[in-house]
Amino acid sequence: MRPKYLRILGAALLAASGYGRAAQAQQPSPPLSAAPLSAAQLSAAQWAPPPPPPDVGGDSAPRGRSASTLESASLYASSAAYGLGMGIWLDSELGLDDPAFLLIPPTLLGVALPVTAYAFNHPTMPRGLPGAIASGLVIGAGEGLGIAGLQMVTSAQPWGFHGLSRAVAIGSTAGGIAGIAVGELQRPSPNISVFAASGVFWGAAIGSAVGLGVSPAGVGFEQSNDWMARGGLIGFNAGLAITMGLSTVFVPTLTQLKWMWIGGAVGGVASLPVYLFYVGDDRPPAKRGLVFSATATTVGIVVGGVFGPMFGSGVGLSDESRRWASIDYLTPVPLEGGFGFNLGGTLF
Q: Write 6-11 long-range contacts (CB < 8 A, 24+).
A: 6/343, 6/344, 6/345, 6/346, 6/347, 7/50, 7/342, 7/343, 7/344, 8/342, 8/343, 8/344, 9/333, 9/340, 9/342, 9/343, 10/340, 10/341, 10/342, 10/343, 11/340
Q: Residue 222: what pLDDT?
A: 83
CA distance 235 to 38: 68
CA distance 140 to 146: 10
CA distance 101 to 86: 15
CA distance 158 to 161: 9
Q: Residue 250: what pLDDT?
A: 87
Look up residue 342 and give its DSSP letter.
E
Region label for 216, one of left (φ > 0), alpha (ψ between -120 and 50) or beta (otherwise): beta
HSE of 212, CA atoms in CB hemisphere, 13 A: 18
> Degrees (nearest 5) of the Cα angle 144, 264, 303?
125
User: If you write DSSP's letter for every residue of 96-135 in order, what string do you get?
Assistant: ---HHHHTHHHHHHHHHHHHHHHHHTSSPPBTTHHHHHHH
250-274 confidence digits (pLDDT tens): 899 999 999 999 999 999 999 999 9
Phi and psi torsions of 347, nearest 5°: -100, 130
Radius of gyration of the chain (CA): 30
Per the document, the length of the chain is 348
Are 337 and 16 spatial neighbours (Cβ–Cβ below 8 Å)? yes
- The strand pairing partners of 342, in sequence order, are 9, 331
CA distance 31 to 18: 12
Crossing angle of the two packed helices 129-154 and 190-213, in degrees rounded to 10: 20
- The strand pairing partners of 327, in sequence order, are 345
**pLDDT < 50: residue spans in the chain:** 1-34, 40-48, 53-61, 314-325, 348
Residues 6 or more apart whose Cβ sits within 8 Å of residue 328 = 5, 51, 53, 54, 344, 345, 346
CA distance 309 to 319: 8
Q: Residue 81: what pLDDT?
A: 96
Phi and psi torsions of 219, nearest 5°: -120, 150
Q: Residue 2: what pLDDT?
A: 40
Measured in Å, how far apart are the chain's first and last C-alpha atoms?
Answer: 8
